[in-house]
Structure 1
Amino acid sequence: MCSFKKCVQLALGATLALLQGIAQAASYVDVLDLPARPSALAVHSPLLDTARAGERLVAVGQRGHILYTDDAGKHWQQAGVPVSADLNAVYFPSAMQGWAVGNDGVVLHSSDAGATWSKQLDGREIGALLVKHYDALASAEPASEQWVQLASEGQRLIEDGADKPLLDVWFANDKIGYVVGVFNLILRTEDGGQHWTPFQDRTDNPQGFHLNAIASTGDALYIAGEQGLLLKWDDAHQRFMALQTHYQGSFFGVVGKLGEVLAYGLRGHVFRSTDGGSSWNPLDTGLQVNITAATVGADGRYRLFTQAGHMLVSQAQGARLQLVAQQNQSPVAGAIMAGDGSLVLVGSRGARALSQE
C-alpha cells in the first residue's frame, strides 16, 4: 500500500496526465484540415516531386509543403496550402492549372501556377465515391459479382478511415485527368476535379497491386506498379491493359517520348520499348540501387536518378545508359529540366539545381 504522500503524488500525476490528454485531444486538428505552416526551412525539407508550370517550377513534399521558383531553382517561395498532409506528386498540364496529390487521399488544385491551392478531394470521401458508383452499377447489372465486390471495397475504405495514399497524378488537359494510389486506387475526372469517377474496374490488376506512377510518352499513357505491374491505356477497350516485361520487381515510374518508353524501378532495373510496349529490352545500368526519378530534356536524352543520387544519362537514342559522376551526391525523388537547360532535383534534402552538362 502506498503512503499518503505517495498516493497523493500518484493521484495528482494521474489527474495531470488525464488533463494533458484531454487538452491534447481538444487541440488535435486533422492534417486534412490544418493548413501547411510557413517555414523558412521548407526548401531544405524533404520534397518528393517537381513539375513545370510554364517557365515556373513547382515542388511538393512533406507536411503539405509546396514551393515554386521563377529562376530555375535559385530562389523559392512557399505556396499557400490548406492541408499539412504529406504530398507525393504534382502535375501541370498547362502553365496555370495544376494538381497535387498525397497521403490521406488528398487532391489539391491550383489555378494560379502553383502560388495558392484548394482541396478538391480527400480520403474521407473516396470510399463513399466507390460505394455510390459501384452500387449503381450493381443495381443495373445484378448478375455481375464484380460490382458488388468493388462496392464492398469502397465500404472497407470508409471503415478504414482517410488513410489512402495517392501516389501520382496526370492530366491530359485542364479537364481530363487521373490520380492513382495504393491497392489499385484510381480515379478519373472529366471536369477538372469537380467530380471523380472510380476506375478500379478499368485496370488489368486483379491482385490490387499499388499503382506507383502514371505518365504519358506523348503517344501513350502508362501506369507503373508493384510486382512487375505495367499498364497501358487502350482506347479500343477503354481500359488500362497489362503489358508483359517478364520482370517481377516493382516499377516506380515511366518516362518516354514519341515511339519510345523506359520503365524503371527496383535495384537499378530499366526496361526499354520502341513498339508501344509490345516487347521490352533490359538496359544495363551497372547499379543495384532503386531508380526513383527520371526526366527527358530538350536534347531528347533521358536523365535517370537513384535514391542514392546517381545520375544515368541516355546514349544512342535511349538504347544505352551511362553513369555520370556528380559532386555532393544526395537522394533524388523528383527531377525536371528548367527553362534555362539546368536540372532541378528534389529529395530528402530539399531542392537543388545542377548546371547544364
Structure 2
Amino acid sequence: MGSLKNFVLALLCSMLALLQGVAQAAGYVDVLDLPAKPSPLAMRSPLIGVARAGERLVTVGQRGHILYSDDAGKHWLQAGVPVSSDLTAVFFPSAKQGWAVGNDGVVLHSSDAGATWQKQLDGRQIGALLVKHYAALASAQPANEQWPLQVAEGQRLVEQGADKPFLDVWFANDKTGYVVGVFNLILRTDDGGQSWTPFQDRTDNPQGFHLNAIASTGDALYIAGEQGLLLKWDDSAQRFAAVSTPYQGSFFGVLGKPGEALVYGLRGNVLRSTDGGLSWTPLDSGLHVSITAGLVDAHGDYRLFTQAGHTLIGQASGKRLQVLPHQDLPPVAGATLAADGSLVVVGSRGAQALSVE
C-alpha cells in the first residue's frame, strides 16, 4: 500500500513539474523581443561601451541597458530600448544619429541622441542575408569558388540561430558604417542601416578570427582582432587588407590621429605606427594586464585603461606609457571624452566621471 501511495505521489509530482515547464515555455519571450526593463540600478550595472552624441554621453551594457547624460556623466537617464540583449558598443557619427550593437546579432539605431532606440537588425536575419547576397554572386560568377563557401557559412548561421554577437560599430557619417563581430562577421550599410551588405569577402581574414574593434584615426580605418589580426581599409582595393605587426596576441582597440595610430590588447601590449601602418613600434606600458579601452584626451595625450583598473598616459611622441598613481578604478571596458574635457569610463561597476590630471 505504501509503495502504491509513493508511486501516485511521484506521478503527481511529475505531472506538476511538466505543467510548470509548459507554463514557463508558454511565458518565454526572446530577449530580442523583450524591451529592456527600467531600473534605478542601471547606472551601477555592468556597462561596456560609451560614446559622445554632441554634448551628450551615451553608454550601453548588460540586459539592453542604455543610459544618457547631459552633465558630463554626473547624472544618467535610462533610454527606451526594444531588446534585452547584452550590448557591447555604441557610436554616434553626429549629435543625433547613433548606432549600438551587441549579442544575438542585434543592431539598434537612435535618431534622437540616444533617448530612444529602434531595432534595425538581429541575428535571426543575418544568416539569410548572407545566403541571399553570396548566392547571387555565385550565380553571376559560377567559376569563383569562394561564393559557395560564403553561402555555406550563411546557411550555418541560419541553422545555429541568433547567437553570434557584434563587438563594435563605426560610422563615417549618418549613412555609411560597419558592424563587426565574431568569426569575421562584418556588415556594411550605405543607407543608415536600412539595408546591410555582407563584407566577409572583403577582409584578409582567411582563418575567420574575431573582429574585436573598428576605429578611425582620422586618415585611416582599422579593424583590430584576435591572434594579432590587424586590418586597414584599402580604398583602391575596396577591402580591409592585412597589416603586419610584431605581436601575435589579441588586439582590443585602435586609436590615434592623422599620421599616428596606436593598437592595444592583451598583456599590456601597445604598438605605435607613424607611417600608415607599414611599421609598428612597441610602447612600454610596464604592465602585463590587458588594455581594454583608450582615448585621446583634450590635451592630445593618449589615455589607456586596463581590465585591472589602471590608467596609463602617453604623449603622442613618447615611447613609454606612464601608469598614473591614485586611480582606484574598477575594470574598465570603455572610455570617452565629455564635452567639458573630463573623462568618463564605464565597466563592471557602471559609469564614473574622472577629472583630467
What is the match of residue 119 of structure 2? 119
Contact residue 91 and residue 170 of structure 2 kept, 8 A? yes
What is the identity, as a one-letter code, of the residue corresponding to 1:161? G
1:239: how far off?
Answer: 0.3
What is the match of residue 55 of structure 1? 55
What is the identity, as a one-letter code, of the residue corresponding to 1:106? V
Give the match's secondary structure for 1:50: strand
1:326: how far off?
Answer: 2.7
Q: Does 1:262 align with 2:265?
A: no
Contact residue 302 and residue 313 of structure 1 kept, 8 A? yes
What is the match of residue 193 of structure 1? 193
Give the match's secondary structure for 1:183: helix
What is the match of residue 281 of structure 1? 281
Q: 1:311-346: per-residue Cα shift (whole Å, max 9, x none)?
A: 000135343211001343210000011111111010
Give the match's secondary structure for 1:3: helix
Contact residue 302 and residue 318 of structure 1 kept, 8 A? no
What is the match of residue 145 of structure 2? 145
- For residues 33-182 of structure 1, the aligned pairs below 5 Å read 33-182=33-182
Q: 1:16-51: per-residue Cα shift (whole Å, max 9, x none)?
A: 110110011000000000000000000000000100
C-alpha separation in 2, matches of 1:199 and 1:271 = 27
Give the match's secondary structure for 2:67: strand
**TM-aligned CA distance change 1:2 to 1:18, over 3 Å:** farther
Give the match's secondary structure for 2:63: helix
1:7: how far off?
Answer: 1.3
Moved over 2 A (4+): 315-320, 326-329
Q: 1:278-321: per-residue Cα shift (whole Å, max 9, x none)?
A: 00000000101000000111211010000011000013534321
Using the size of structure 1 for normalisation, the TM-score is 0.99
Contact residue 337 and residue 344 of structure 2 kept, 8 A? yes
What is the match of residue 336 of structure 1? 336
Q: 1:203-240: per-residue Cα shift (whole Å, max 9, x none)?
A: 00000000000000000000000000000000111100
Q: 1:136-159: per-residue Cα shift (whole Å, max 9, x none)?
A: 000000011100100110000000
1:2: how far off?
Answer: 6.7
1:3: how far off?
Answer: 1.2
Give the match's secondary structure for 1:84: coil
C-alpha separation in 2, matches of 1:326 and 1:148 = 56
Give the match's secondary structure for 2:332: coil
1:4: how far off?
Answer: 2.2
Give the match's secondary structure for 1:101: strand
In structure 2, stretches of 5+ residues that fail to align are none
What is the match of residue 347 of structure 2? 347
Aligned residues: 357
What is the match of residue 249 of structure 2? 249
C-alpha separation in 2, matches of 1:130 and 1:142 = 17
What is the match of residue 230 of structure 2? 230
C-alpha separation in 1, matches of 2:169 and 2:93 = 11
What is the identity, as a one-letter code, of the residue corresponding to 2:135? D
Contact residue 55 and residue 70 of structure 2 kept, 8 A? yes
Query: For structure 1, which segment, 114-123 or 293-302, has the greater mean C-alpha deviation from structure 2 after superposition?
Result: 293-302
Give the match's secondary structure for 1:19: helix
What is the identity, as a one-letter code, of the residue corresponding to 1:116? T
What is the identity, as a one-letter code, of the residue corresponding to 2:84? S
C-alpha separation in 2, matches of 1:216 and 1:109 = 20
1:173: how far off?
Answer: 0.1
**TM-aligned CA distance change 1:2 to 1:273, over 3 Å:** farther
C-alpha separation in 2, matches of 1:182 and 1:305 = 23
Matched-pair identity in %:
77
1:244: how far off?
Answer: 0.4
Contact residue 301 and residue 317 of structure 1 kept, 8 A? no
Contact residue 232 and residue 243 of structure 2 kept, 8 A? yes
C-alpha separation in 1, matches of 2:327 and 2:259 = 34
